[in-house]
Amino acid sequence: MGERIRASFLGVGFVGIMSTLYLGLMWAPSVAIDAFESPAAQKIFYWHVPSAWASFIAFTVLFIGSGLWFFKRSPTGWRLHVAGAEAGLATGLMTVWSGTVWASAEWGTPWDWTDVRLNTFALLTLLALFLVLGRRSQPDGVETRDTFATFGLFGFVLVPFTYIATRFWVIRHPGPVVAAGNDGSLQSDMALVLFIGAISFTIFIIGHILTSMHITKLEQRVEMLQSEIDKGG
């Protein structure tokens, strides 16, 4: 039953993401030529923004899981931490990669080290990479979990910081176009494709997180069985 639910989320989410890609490239209207340096590259927007949205979900899961482990010693919390870190890494890399491709076309440079939004988001992604790689280099234990949960808790402060940076430190990365009040606007067809993308990425990332939690649970069960064998049981 659980496996079917996980597979459904992943499957539906994947189909939605591919549909978003197709709709964005083939159906959504192009932006006005004078609004962007590279109007064709703008279509990466339909992948870039939903993956950023999904990454914020993943980092929130990472934060909740880290808190549950750190304060309650909850095994479910630790599984959420692991799942959140892996999902955050995947979606963070998607966002950064799609963003650099778009930036190369639009700005003439793939990155801007002076932009607060870009750098705080990159740090979140690097934090996720640090947590994923670090966990694999250490034996599982309370010390390992406490250390990485601490990083997960403190790293979350970057999430609202990154979000606020689009409003108060607009340097190179553009400000928000969704929920931006009077400042941003999106044509209805573009908004529809973006909405489909956001829903699809959300469903996919939930499936990813559920699957990751299941894998971690299986890993812990294997470890427990191996410990019993070690004791001669």
Partner 1 sequence: MSDVLLAFESVEIRRGMGIVVSDFSFQVSSGEVVVLHGENGCGKSTIIETAARILPIEKGQISQHGELVIDSEGRRKLSTVPFGLTLQQNGLVGSDTIAEHLNNMMSICKTKINLAPILKQYSLDHRSNDLIAHLSGGQQRKVSVIAGLLPAMISKSPRLILLDEPDSGLDESAIQMLSQHITSLRLAGHAFLIATHDERILKCATRINNLSHDTEQKPPSGDVWQLPEVEAAKPNNWLMTGFSYNLKTKAGFANNGIAGFLTLGILLSMVEPFELNNLLGLKMGFVLLPAFVAGLCGDPVVNLLRENRALDWWQANTATPRAIIIPIITGFVLTTISSYIFLEELQLIVVVAGSLTTLICSLLIGFLQLSTNKLSRPQAVFIRLLTPILILPWSIVVNELIAYI
Contact residues for partner 1, defined by CB under 8 A: 73, 113-114, 116, 119-120, 122-123, 126-127, 129-130, 133-134, 137-144, 146-147, 150-151, 223
Contacts for 225 with CB less than 8 Å, ≥ 6 apart:
none
**Cβ 205 to partner 1 shortest distance, Å:** 22
**Residue 170 Rama label (left phi>0; alpha psi -120 to 50; beta):** beta
**Cβ 134 to partner 1 shortest distance, Å:** 4
Q: CA 1 to CA 5: how far, in whole Å?
A: 6
Q: CA 113 to CA 54: how far, in whole Å?
A: 24
Q: CA 62 to CA 64: how far, in whole Å?
A: 6
**Residue with smaller CB distance to partner 1, 2 or 232:** 232
Q: CA 48 to CA 55: how far, in whole Å?
A: 11
**Cβ 55 to partner 1 shortest distance, Å:** 16
**Residue with smaller CB distance to partner 1, 38 or 144:** 144
**Cβ 122 to partner 1 shortest distance, Å:** 7
**Residue with smaller CB distance to partner 1, 54 or 131:** 131
Q: What is the DSSP string of 181-231?
A: TTS----HHHHHHHHHHHHHHHHHHHHHHHHHHHHHHHHHHHHHHHHHHHT
For residue 183, how many other CB atoms are within 10 A of its CB?
9
**Cβ 94 to partner 1 shortest distance, Å:** 18
**Cβ 15 to partner 1 shortest distance, Å:** 33
Q: CA 46 to CA 40: how far, in whole Å?
A: 12
**Residue with smaller CB distance to partner 1, 109 or 114:** 114
**Residue with smaller CB distance to partner 1, 138 or 187:** 138
**Residue with smaller CB distance to partner 1, 37 or 223:** 223
